[in-house]
Amino acid sequence: MTKSVNYSRRRLLKNTAVASALVAGSSSVLGETNPQLQTRSGGVSGTRRNGLNIFKGIPYAASTQGRRFLPPLKEEAWHGLRDAAEYAKSAPQRSDESYSEDCLYLNCWTPGLSDGGKRPILFYIHGGGYATGSGSDPLYDGSSLCHQGDVVVVTVNHRLNAFGYLYLADLAGDEYAHSGNVGQLDLIAALRWVQEHAEALGGDRHNVTVFGQSGGGAKIATLMAMPMAKELFHRAWTMSGQQVTAAGPRSATQRAQRFLDALKPNGSLAQQLEAVASAPVEQLLEATKVEDFSRVEDKSLHFCPVMDSGVLPRHPFWPDAPVQSAHIPMVIGNTKDETRAFLGKPENFALTWADLPAKIRKQQFVDISPERVVEHYRKLYPNYSPSDIFFASTTAGRSWRGAVEELQVRAEQGSNTWAYQLDWGSPLDGGKYGAFHTLDIPLVFNNIHQPGSRTGGGEQALQVADTMSRTLLAFAHSGSPNAENLPKWEPYTLAERKTMVFDVPSQQHKDPRGAERKFYAKVPFMQRGTY
d(CA 475, CA 488): 13
Catalytic annotation present for 4: no
Main-chain dihedrals φ then ψ at residue 203, nearest 5 degrees: -115, 180
Which residues, 6+ apart, have CB-to-CB distance to 389 below 8 Å?
356, 360, 373, 374, 377, 378, 381
Is-contact 341 437, C-beta < 8 A?
Answer: yes
Is-contact 444 334, C-beta < 8 A?
Answer: no
59-71 burial: b if 16+ Cβ within 10 Å, else e: bbbbbbeeebbeb
Which residues, 6+ apart, have CB-to-CB distance to 464 below 8 Å?
424, 443, 455, 502, 503, 504, 506
Which of 134, 136, 144, 214 is catalytic? The answer is 214
Is-contact 246 130, C-beta < 8 A?
Answer: no
- Torsion angle (degrees, nearest 10) of CA 263, 269, 273, 278: -60
Integer-rounded Cα Rg, in Å, for the chain is: 23
319-358 burial: b if 16+ Cβ within 10 Å, else e: eebbeebeebbbbbbbbbbbbbbebbeeebbebeeeebbe
| DSSP secondary structure letter of residue 180 | G
58 forms bridges with which residues in the sheet? 106
Element (H or E) spanning 404, and its range?
A: helix 401-413
- Catalytic site positions: 214
